[in-house]
Homo-oligomer: A and B are copies of this chain.
């Protein structure tokens, strides 16, 4: 019986617990949350087998410790738990951004344990333990980032855990991870928050809101992300996120310029061509998602995955060299 401890019983922690405790399981799940009021709920909804009142007790016997807390709480948590970990234990996390977490793990966790970073690419828009469910990770991809010093057994343990909850592990380079996540996960959170703020801080918001349909509701859903999580995103991935905010502001300025230009209703004009480019990109993306099983690189299974690290490095190089694209006049028709 493998012992897994989950620290932090929010949406991700509780959902992981539920999924790990599925029938036929060979794991025992211990839960801990800094807010012990949630312990009762976690037990009741089947997220954990038992809870502990003190952090040291929650981790001392664990084979695998999952840190499912906001990224800004990671440093203190690692520091507090470091001396209580079992030799040979595996520590993993679920933070959306990875550079800070990997650095803190290297600095604060003892050599006798192995740290393997993780990021389940499951929706963050529905944060809160109340939305936890056993199938949250079913079919989701799950990024895996072993620390340089992590023994292969620890990597295997994390990959096995990911597969057990129905997700698909894939190995990825640290730099690639944080750039990509900044674009498709962090930026949308800021965009959604900016939209909510722009609309709601209008003195006419009460009247304006009567015109909001499901589209607006869905575009502002991510503004409802736990502010501590959003803060962690901004704080831990500031450089990458700032780059992508530049990109989106540039796109919006371009669109605005075309919208106020006199050719704006021209069906062959630049506004139409840009909107068609966006529409085509969305259709291609949608199709890619559907055939994701075919298109994506073969996923490493437990044990044979380390080689994929080289792939991550190659891709990271593309990112580093690709920063100049806005000056490319062929990007889409003007």
A residues at B contact (CB < 8 Å): 72, 121-125, 140-141, 143, 170, 176-177, 179-181, 183-185, 187-204, 207-228, 230-232, 234-236, 238-239, 241-242, 244-253, 255-256, 258-260, 264-265, 267, 271-272, 274-279, 281-286, 288-289, 296, 315, 318-319, 322, 325, 331-332
Specify which of A198, A225, A279 lies most central, judged by the most chain B CB atoms within 10 Å of its CB. A198
Bound complex: CA A278 to CA B221 (Å):
11
Residues in B neighbouring A218, C-beta threshold 8 A? 125, 218, 221
Tallying the copies of this chain within the complex gives: 2
Residues in B neighbouring A256, C-beta threshold 8 A? 242, 245-246, 249
| Interface contact B123-A215, CB-CB below 8 Å | yes
Residues in B neighbouring A141, C-beta threshold 8 A? 210-211
CB-nearest residue of chain B relative to A261?
A: B238
10 smallest beta-carbon distances between A and B, as pairs: A235-B265, A200-B281, A193-B278, A194-B251, A180-B211, A203-B322, A184-B212, A223-B282, A227-B275, A198-B247
Bound complex: CA A221 to CA B125 (Å):
15
| Interface contact B281-A258, CB-CB below 8 Å | no
Q: SS class of chain A's interface: helix, strand, loop or mixed?
A: helix
CB distance from A40 to the nearest CB of B (A): 25
| Interface contact A225-B332, CB-CB below 8 Å | no
CB-nearest residue of chain B relative to A252?
A: B194
8 pairs across A/B with beta carbons < 8 Å?
A: A179-B208, A183-B199, A190-B255, A191-B195, A192-B278, A198-B247, A234-B255, A249-B253
CB-nearest residue of chain B relative to A263?
A: B235
| Interface contact B234-A271, CB-CB below 8 Å | yes
Residues in B neighbouring A278, C-beta threshold 8 A? 192-194, 196-197, 223, 227
Residues in B neighbouring A224, C-beta threshold 8 A? 279, 282-283, 286
Bound complex: CA A181 to CA B244 (Å):
27
